[in-house]
Amino acid sequence: MVISLRKARTIIRKALEKGREMELKPLSVVVLDAGGHVIAFEREDGAAPGRFAIAHGKAYGSVMLGMAGTAQMQRAEGQAYFMAAVNGVYGGQVVPVPGGVLVRDRKGAVIGAVGVTGDTSDNDAQAALVGIEGAGLVGEI
């Protein structure tokens, strides 16, 4: 199973709606496929210009390691040099904090990841999760 562009749009729309409902700062949302490649991205008006790279880094590390943002953060806090080294081998493309959320199909296979940035990491993750579930998929924060 793959994330279609239609599903990716739904994820983004519902994550942004959740952000507005929670009155979060402007959000940016990226959806990656199972190989870590961008399907779709949107940055809300008023967000800082560099938000693509942050959203991407949260989602990219999740896909490449098969480990969502919360687990990456725990590893980074316990063994900082390991996540630094991981970032080296992935070309500096990993941002190991919540807001990187794995997307699984109904059998549990990873089919991609969503990265949200703009508010606190926990709020970012919450918006991502709502977007994923709104598209009928399963998220892992």
Please give the residue ranges that form the binding site for a copy of itself (CB under 8 A): 2, 4-5, 8-9, 33-45, 47-50, 52-54, 56-57, 63-67, 76-77, 79-97, 110
**Which amino acid type is present at position 79?**
Q
Backbone angles phi, psi at 81, to 5 degrees: -70, -25
Amino acid at 11: I
Least gap, CB of 125 to a copy of itself (angstroms): 14
Q: How far apart are CA 23 and CA 94, in angstroms?
A: 27
φ, ψ of residue 39 to 5 degrees: the values are -95, -45
Closest to a copy of itself by CB, 26 or 134: 26
Please state the closest distance from residue 116 (CB atom) to a copy of itself, in A: 15
The least distance separating a copy of itself from the CB of residue 97, rounded to whole angstroms, comes to: 6
